[in-house]
Amino acid sequence: MKKIGFLYIIIAGLLWGSSCLFIHFLSPFGFTAAQMTAARGGVSFLCMAIYTLIRDRNKFRIRLKEIPWFCGIGITLFTTAFWYYRAVQLTSSSTAAVLMYMAPVYVMTFSILFLKETFTLRKGLSVAGMLAGCFLVSGIVGGLQFNGTGVLLAILSGVSYATYILLTKMSMQRGSDPTSATVYGFLVMAIIATSTAKPWQMPALIARNPAVILLLLVGLGVITFVVPYFLYALAMRSLPAGTASALAVIEPFSATVYGVVFLHETLTVFSVIGIILILLSVIALGLLETGNTAGRTKKR
């Protein structure tokens, strides 16, 4: 069962990482980051709503006190995608993906500040490794073209993703159903994205090449969000959360490979070292979480 879980995580990471390809091919048609986020949110909500209607319609029922949590989840889903898409447009696939993937260090920081988790030397070393890697990947050194706005947006995307994880975790601790949280989170994401995306412009953009563009927009929602989400959820049934998060480093790695192979992006020695530092730090945090989980289980 664990082998299947490993396979699910790897496939999910490969699909998540493919976002850069969809962004690259949609941008020349004139689509903005907000419009791509709206497409992703709308397709994801539609797929999740259909799934919920088929499996259990009761998941649509929520308590009044859950609304603020689900709104927060939707807002952070929107900002994570929007800032990431814009960062890819301004920097590169590898830079945006790797900097966004610093989310675990933000989760750890938030957990220490708000959930009273313990700060350890290993956690501190992981943070130091990520910060050093961020400095190298950003392009400040090593000859890459440095785009401060793109780097900042990639980092903000990671902060937003970490906030999403924290909100989801706290919502689940208060008894919310994961399916309900996902459905309404996707709905809020789609509403916010659509309201900021100038949707009246999209029909004209789609008309430039309807078959190709519609395929790309649907793929952006299904391939880079819905399918990997379900695969990750299935993997979590047989793998500890820390192991799953450590294995998910395949996402920024795959985005980097896609960028180099298909988009002809350039990597310097400094950026490669930075990527390795960040990925090793994420793996260390994931394995640390796995160890802590195992320790708590034994104590019980």
pLDDT score at 294: 47
Select the highest-mean-pLDDT range: 28-32, 93-97, 242-246: 28-32
What are 142's two structure tokens? 């090593």
pLDDT score at 26: 94
Q: Phi first, then psi: what are they for 117, rounded to 5°?
A: -75, 155
* Of 82, 122, 89, 91, residue with least CA distance to 105: 122
The H or E element that residue 33 is part of is helix 33-55
CA atoms within 13 A on the CB side of 209: 11
Average pLDDT over residues 84-113: 78
From the CB of residue 145, how many other CB atoms can be counted at a distance below 10 Å? 9
SS3 content of the chain, % helix, strand, coil (to 5): 85, 0, 15
Contacts of 65 (CB under 8 A, 6+ apart): 174
Give me the chain's average pLDDT, please: 81
Average pLDDT over residues 85-103: 82
* Of 46, 12, 48, residue with least CA distance to 228: 12
277, 133 in Cβ contact below 8 A? yes
Q: Is the pLDDT of residue 299 over 50?
A: no
258, 93 in Cβ contact below 8 A? yes
User: How far, in Å, are 28, 68, 193 from residue 25 at the CA level?
Assistant: 6, 36, 20
Q: Is the pLDDT of residue 217 over 90?
A: yes
pLDDT score at 187: 94
What are 29's two structure tokens? 């048609």
| Packing angle, helices 93-100 and 121-137, rounded to 10 | 160
Cα radius of gyration rounded to whole Å, the chain? 19
Average pLDDT over residues 96-117: 72
What are 241's two structure tokens? 């959360």
Give this prediction's pTM.
0.81
User: How far, in Å, are 95, 186, 225, 264, 280 from residue 260 at the CA level?
Assistant: 12, 31, 22, 5, 21
pLDDT score at 86: 93
Cα separation, 159 vs 181, in Å, equals 20
The H or E element that residue 202 is part of is helix 202-206
* Of 166, 154, 183, residue with least CA distance to 41: 183
Cα separation, 191 vs 180, in Å, equals 17
What are 118's two structure tokens? 């313990």
Per-residue pLDDT tens over the stretch 135-166: 676 665 554 556 788 888 988 998 898 888 77
